[in-house]
């Protein structure tokens, strides 16, 4: 959406007025809140591959290793007024580096001078993919929380543990034991009250017992 020339992308950019950063103003749309929420994430994890520089903001976009507004510490209230493109600082495929940058930030000037200029269109590439394209698989991999492997499976289903003990432990872990609380959640009415204290009894087996059962099963 940020760099595509397809009609839908051009329409979205014009409709939502978003390209180099998220648009915080209200837009009457059912899909824009979701896009706007994740827009900074996409831009922060993408980099511009410089072509002719027509579609890249010289100051705000990430076409050097660090956007110039960050490396030069430009105040945020000036960001909206920085509209120049990279092409505005080139002439016949050669760089025009502003004198204040060349004199005060020589490292940044050298990095800019080392970036090649071509006549090809600019491309916004996703940094986490091999081809620069942001696929649904890349989105899922980025947003999905890392999962922890369940090593207890091998511990329970071990040759050293009798199968009936492994099965009982599996039922405990998956809340499949017919304890009072489980039977009640399934609609069974139980008169589980202590005849001495006249109070409702607690479940016969709780998860605190699982550790004890595993300890004994492992030695059984």
Q: What is the residue-wise DSSP string for 163-208?
A: HHHHHHHHHHHTT-S--HHHHHHTT-----B-TTT-SBPPPSS-TH
Does 132 lie in the same domain as 97? yes
Dump pLDDT digits (tens) for 9-64: 777 777 776 555 656 666 777 777 777 777 778 778 888 989 899 989 999 999 99
User: Does residue 25 fall inside a structural domain?
Assistant: no
Does 157 lie in the same domain as 128? no
Does 164 lie in the same domain as 137? no
pLDDT for position 169: 80
Cβ atoms within 10 Å, residue 49? 16
Q: Cα 214 vs. chain centroid, distance in angstroms?
A: 37
Does 170 lie in the same domain as 123? no
Q: Who has greater pLDDT, 54 or 172?
A: 54
User: Does residue 125 fall inside a structural domain?
Assistant: yes
What average pLDDT is seen over the chain? 76
Domain end marker among 143, 166, 196 = 143
pLDDT for position 8: 72
d(CA 152, CA 86): 56
pLDDT for position 112: 94
Three-class SS of residue 154?
Answer: helix
Residue 176 domain boundaries: 152-218
User: Does residue 18 fall inside a structural domain?
Assistant: no
User: Does residue 3 fall inside a structural domain?
Assistant: no
Does 130 lie in the same domain as 51? yes
Does 123 lie in the same domain as 77? yes
User: Does residue 32 fall inside a structural domain?
Assistant: no
Average pLDDT on 95-100 reads 93
216 pLDDT above the threshold of 90? no
pLDDT for position 17: 61
Does 137 lie in the same domain as 56? yes
Does 133 lie in the same domain as 159? no
d(CA 8, CA 57): 21
d(CA 193, CA 159): 40
pLDDT for position 97: 93
Domain count, the chain: 2
185 pLDDT above the threshold of 70? yes
Domain end marker among 114, 143, 172 = 143
Token pair for 24: 């915080």
211 pLDDT above the threshold of 90? no
User: Does residue 33 fall inside a structural domain?
Assistant: no
Does 193 lie in the same domain as 117? no
> Degrees (nearest 5) of the Cα angle 142, 147, 149?
150
Domain end marker among 143, 175, 200 = 143
Helices (H), the chain: 7-16, 32-44, 68-71, 99-104, 106-114, 136-143, 152-156, 163-173, 180-185, 208-218
pLDDT for position 208: 47
186 pLDDT above the threshold of 80? no
């Amino acid at each position: 959406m940020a760099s595509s020339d397809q009609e839908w992308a051009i329409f979205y950019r014009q409709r939502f007025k978003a390209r180099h950063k998220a648009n915080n103003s209200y837009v009457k749309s059912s899909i824009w809140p979701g896009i706007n929420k994740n827009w900074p994430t996409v831009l922060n994890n993408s980099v511009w591959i410089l072509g002719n520089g027509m579609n890249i903001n010289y100051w705000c976009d990430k076409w050097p290793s660090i956007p110039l507004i960050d490396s030069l510490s430009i105040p945020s209230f000036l960001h909206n007024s920085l509209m120049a493109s990279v092409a505005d600082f080139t002439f016949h495929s050669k760089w025009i580096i502003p004198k204040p940058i060349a004199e005060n930030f020589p490292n940044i000037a050298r990095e800019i001078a080392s970036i090649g200029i071509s006549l090809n269109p600019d491309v916004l590439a996703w940094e986490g993919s091999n081809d620069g394209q942001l696929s649904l698989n890349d989105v899922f991999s980025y947003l999905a929380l890392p999962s922890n492997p369940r090593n207890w499976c091998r511990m329970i289903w071990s040759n050293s543990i009798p199968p009936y003990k492994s099965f009982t432990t599996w039922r405990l872990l998956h809340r499949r034991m017919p304890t009072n609380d489980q039977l009640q959640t399934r609609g069974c009415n139980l008169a589980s009250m202590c005849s001495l204290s006249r109070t409702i009894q607690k479940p016969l087996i709780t998860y605190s017992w699982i550790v004890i059962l595993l300890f004994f099963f492992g030695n059984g």
